[in-house]
A = this chain, B = another copy of it.
Amino acid sequence: MPSYKAPIDDVSFLLNDVFQFDRYDNLPGFSDASRDVRGAILEESAKFAEEVLQPLNLPGDQQGCTRHDDGRVTTPTGFKEAFRQYAEGGWLGLSAPAEYGGQGLPVTLTQMMSEFLTSANMAFGMYPGLTKGAMAALLVHGSDAQKQLFVPKMIAGEWTGTMNLTEPQCGTDLGLLRTKAVKQADGSYKITGTKIFISAGEHDLADNIIHLVLARIEGAPAGIKGISLFVVPKLAINADGSLGAPNGVSCGSIEHKMGIHANSTCVMNYDNATGWLVGEENKGMQGMFVMMNEARLGVGIQGLAMSEVAYQNAAAYARERLQGRALTGPQAPDKPADPIIVHPDIRRTLLSIRAFNEAARAMVVWTALKNDVAHRSDDAKDREAADELLGLMTPVLKGVLTDGGFANAVQAQQVFGGHGYIVEHGMEQFVRDARISMIYEGANGIQALDLVGRKLPRQGGRAAMAFFAEVSAFAKENDGSEAMKPFVAPLSAALGHLQQATMWLMQNALAKPDNAGAAATDYMKLFGLVVFGYMWARMAKVAQDKIAAGDGSAYLKTKLVTGRFFMERMLPETAIHLTRVQSGSATMMELPAEAF
């Protein structure tokens, strides 16, 4: 059976030391999140993740969700009670506005908690995750009445939320969407169509499910300019707030899928279901993007979370499994064999995962703080800069953390040898669960295109230039430090590669857009490596300062060794990505479709 321990030490180091959370005290909600309060929140959510959610993970995968003949869906044993505890703990509204019953605490804390929940039980974590996305869209684009009707119930966990975008013929290309909406005399709409891959589409965790649905109003323009967003409750809501008759929306089937079996992924049939417009007619993409951006950050965290729990179990196994002897001679001569952690190749594997996880976690905190600034600062310029950087980093975070998270789960499984392939050890579930994060909320190829085609060129590349300047400034500041040299020199080289790749895109992609498409994935990976390198350099600096100030903890020593491993073995991968970016699109576009 796998186990999990939330990495509170590492989160605390990032919040307190590296990113100096207390500097943001002027933002609403931050002063309520003092060091002690943060600590208590992390401890409590860790406890919930470790003690309540983690034990449900393996059984939940094996039991899965069950659709009954009447369309009801039952979640695995224990999920309903766990969700009730989660809701009662107030976790759903941790960062939601106080006026709707939330606690108004920084988003940064919610993101850290998400990592814990997801490591413990990814399929469970998706239920509140979707609800938070739906709340975010309603809070930004809903009417006051809609906010007051839906958000408090969602914060309370009495109702949950969903996102209904995909249809059989329409995935990435939402312009192909067919679900239709017909306006009624009372201002409501009748919604009809079929949605697929709807996570948490139907279940038994809450009294009502609030579906946010993209549909096309009769007579609307073709393509994405004719798409509107609707809110469609599963059960009608009476004027007094009580629940009424079923609306015309039902779960037609549960998808049979590779993993996240404990999350009910539904085909949802809308048959003249009553819905209400959210935001303006034909402006549904705006609301969709609010949900989507929220979801993309959450999915990126899934990549980290799966990588972390897989790492922990692989490291524990490597310390315990006795097999063979060290190349340098027996290390545990009293035992029949040495633990496999004596082998360099096992350490290489573990450190590769660990170096990824710690950089990824730093990136999550760094961008989450930008998220808080973008939404809470009273300085318009600060808000804009933070929002632009968050926009630029969102596809990188989603793409790089989920690609890496999956690859790391596979590598962690490999440490177990044949035992990793066996269900009972839980490692293969991490792999199957982690796999979806590379696909949903925009497959990673789409993230790469979003980065290269939209986020990078926005405002003449201002956000990227600001990031490059920030990294350069950091490198310059630490230029004279001998101790920082193993971090600063590789970081500067990697930044140089990223700048060259960016220059190449500016010179070659405008005239020939296929060059952007051909470069996109490698550019995204290159970008991610540089962000990770920057995170490592910042962590190393703070660790060195703390050590110099007398902190002799093993945690800090391990941090520095792990950082050097990243700099020596992982960051240099930027070179191959630059080579690929610069190789252009000519060769891959040469063949006719039928040659493939």
Contacts and interface: CB of A to CB of B under 8 A. Distances in A.
Interface string A388-424: 0000000000000000001000100110011011111
A428 interface: yes
7 contacts: A172-B323, A344-B588, A347-B589, A417-B439, A421-B435, A558-B591, A572-B576
Contacts of A557: 595
A420 B575 CA distance: 31
A414 B445 contact: yes
Contact of A422 (B256, B417, B421): B256
A589 B318 CA distance: 14
A565 B593 contact: no
A519 to B, nearest CB: 8
A548 B398 CA distance: 48
Contacts of A534: none
A175 B323 CA distance: 9
Contacts of A315: 596
Interface stretch (A104-112, A136-144, A204-212, A333-341): A333-341
Nearest to A258: B428
A377 to B, nearest CB: 36
Given A171-B323, A345-B518, 9 more contacts: A169-B336, A176-B322, A258-B423, A258-B431, A315-B596, A319-B596, A344-B589, A413-B435, A576-B576
Contacts of A258: 421-423, 428, 431-432
Given A323-B171, A575-B576, A591-B561, A414 B428 contact: no
Interface string A431-443: 1100110111001
A328 interface: yes
Nearest to A517: B344
A439 B422 contact: no
A513 interface: yes
Contacts of A518: 344-345, 347-348
Interface string A297-312: 0000000000000000
Given A318-B596, A579-B572, A445 B345 contact: yes
B257 A423 contact: yes
A173 interface: yes
Interface string A311-330: 00001001100111001100
A147 interface: no
Nearest to A453: B327
Interface in A547-596: 554, 557-558, 561, 564-565, 568-569, 572-573, 575-576, 579-580, 583, 585, 587-591, 593-596
Interface residues of A, number: 95
Interface string A176-196: 100000000000000000001
Contacts of A421: 257-259, 435-436, 439
Given A345-B518, A576-B576, A418 B432 contact: no
Contact of A327 (B344, B432, B513): B513
A378 interface: no
Given A417-B443, A439-B417, A422 B589 contact: no
Contacts of A583: 568-569
A283 interface: no
B593 A339 contact: yes
Contacts of A453: 327
Nearest to A562: B591
A457 to B, nearest CB: 14
A418 B439 contact: yes
Interface string A354-371: 100000000000000000
A220 interface: no
What copy number does this chain have within its complex?
2
Interface string A513-546: 1101110110000000000000000000000000
Contacts of A514: 327-328, 344
A440 B418 contact: yes
A590 to B, nearest CB: 5
B422 A257 contact: yes
Given A327-B517, A431-B258, A572-B576, A349 B423 contact: no
Contacts of A440: 418
Contacts of A585: 344
A439 B418 CA distance: 6
A332 to B, nearest CB: 10
Contacts of A564: 587
A95 interface: no
A414 B328 contact: no
Nearest to A585: B344
Contacts of A386: none
Nearest to A419: B171
Contacts of A270: none
Contacts of A259: 421
A346 interface: yes
A57 interface: no
B438 A414 contact: yes
Given A324-B172, A417-B443, A575-B575, A422 B554 contact: no
A448 interface: yes
- Top 6 nearest A-B pairs (CB, nearest first) are A344-B517, A327-B513, A258-B428, A344-B518, A256-B423, A315-B596
A83 interface: no
Contacts of A561: 587, 590-591, 595
A197 interface: yes
Contacts of A587: 351, 561, 564-565, 568
